[in-house]
Each structure stands twice: as C-alpha cells, then as structure tokens.
Amino acid sequence: MLALFALAGGGWWWTVQRMQGMDDGPWSTLGGFGWFLGVWVVMMAAMMFPSMAPTVALYARMTKARSPLSPIAFTAGYLVTWASAGVGAFVIAIGATGLAGDSLAWGNAGRPLAGGTLIVAAVYELTPLKNVCLGKCRSPLGFLLGSWRDGWLGGLRMGAKNGAWCLGCCWALMASLFALGVMSVTWMALVAGLIAVEKTLPLRRWTTFGTAATLLVLGVLLLASPDAVPGLKLPGGDSVPMMMPSGS
C-alpha cells in the first residue's frame, strides 16, 4: 500500500514538472501518440493509485503466501485497462479533429461541446450503471472474492477487471477533464479529488450527488459565462484567476 502511495506521489511530481505551462484549456492538443500515452499512464497512476490502494493492500495480504508477485501483476493489469482507455480517447480525439476540423474550435462548437460534456457527466453520476460500478470500487473484499483467479496471470486478469469497473465508474469524470483542460494540473487535481471522495468516503449517494452538482455548475458556467470559472484557461486567452480572499 505504501508503495502505491509512493508511486502516486512520484506520478504527481513528474506530472507537475512535465505539464507546467502546457495547459491550453478545454480540448488541449494531445501531442504525439507515444508522448500522450506515456503522460496518460503516469496521470492515471497519480490519480487512481491512492483510491485503489485498499484493494491492492487486501489482495496482497490474501496472496502473500501463494504468489508474492500477484499484487504487482494486479496493478499492471489495472494500468493496462486505463492505458487502453487512453488509446481510445486519443483515437476519438484525432478522428473528431480530422473529420470536423475547425468546427470544434472553442469559438465554434468547442465551448458548447465542453459544457455539454460536463452536464452529461453530471447526469451519469446519478445513473444505475454508475452506482453499480462505484459499488464494486468501494467493496474490495466483495470484488476480490467474486472474481478470484490464482497466480500472477490471475492477478493480471483481476487487475484488468478491477480497472474496467473503475473505468465504468470514472469515464465521465475523465471526459470532464478533457473538457476542462487535460494538460491542467489544477483540473487534474480536482478530478482526482472527486474520484477519491466517491470511492472512500461514507454515504455513497451523497458523495455522488455532490460530484454531480459540481459538474453541473461547471457545465452551466462554461455555457453561460466561461470567464466565471476560476482557474480555467480560455483557449487563445489567459487563465481566469482563482478566487482570492478579500483583503489579500
């Protein structure tokens, strides 16, 4: 468990160093495939490892005497699932840009698309599918007992399956990250915080209601008045400053 937190901390450090000054706002340019995939995997490790640590810690205790390498395989399988999601996101982004061209620019359809993405993500938070996926993520013992496979190959398969449930739980939040600025450490931290709150705090439904409300407010503001979104880097413009206490 400590190793996962150390890896997550290293991921955050690397991300801050590499992504500093790269935030171009909503629908930021993703760069080349190899570069984006590397950044994406490190981002997923930084954002997801803290909330998946209880599952890996329990799995490590359950496999300690039989297969000490299984927890590593489990974590690798989890990352493989999220890396596959990153490949899919890259293909969709490149395909949409190639087909639509400038019509998806911020001054055209980009702004309503970003706002609409956040509103769709808010609605998804309240769906039965989201609830089922989140339940799997919040119940490590139930997941492990229900999908047990022996050996390191079994650990790889279980990790990939756990990643799939996590993807079902968090895909809309990740889409929101693209809509706000995938190269923004600020929005990355906000989304990571929402994920951690949903997966770890009690009163599951209230946490998802809070996440839905946050996404809905951001979506409406993006549609109505993007200048009012604190910390948002407007494409072709400057960042909207974060709210500061009066008298500062």
**Cβ proximity of 51 and 200 under 8 Å:** yes
State the pLDDT confidence band at 245, using cuts at 50, 70 and 90.
very low
**What local confidence, expressed as pLDDT, does residue 248 receive?**
35
Domain definitions of the chain by residue range: 2-10+29-225
**Cβ proximity of 73 and 153 under 8 Å:** yes
Task: State mean pLDDT over 87-116.
Answer: 82
pTM: predicted TM-score of the whole model, two decimal places: 0.84
Task: State mean pLDDT over 50-63.
Answer: 88
Task: Name, in order, each residue with C-beta under 8 angstroms of 154's C-beta and a sequence gap of 6 or more.
Answer: 70, 148
**Cβ proximity of 78 and 166 under 8 Å:** yes
Q: CA 40, CA 43: separation in Å to the nearest integer?
A: 5
State the pLDDT confidence band at 243, using cuts at 50, 70 and 90.
very low
155: amino acid identity, one letter: G
Q: CA 32, CA 140: separation in Å to the nearest integer?
A: 36
Tens digit of each residue's pLDDT (9 = 90 or more) over 151-207: 888 899 999 999 999 999 999 999 999 888 887 888 888 899 999 888 888 878 889
Q: CA 118, CA 194: separation in Å to the nearest integer?
A: 14
State the pLDDT confidence band at 247, using cuts at 50, 70 and 90.
very low
State the pLDDT confidence band at 21, using cuts at 50, 70 and 90.
low
Tokens of 122: 């808010």
Tens digit of each residue's pLDDT (9 = 90 or more) over 109-168: 888 998 999 999 999 999 999 999 999 888 888 888 888 888 888 899 999 999 999 999
Residue with tokens 């503001």, as numbered in its chain: 221
- H, E, C per residue of 25-64: CCCCCCCCHHHHHHHHHHHHHHHHHHHHHHHHHHHHHHHC
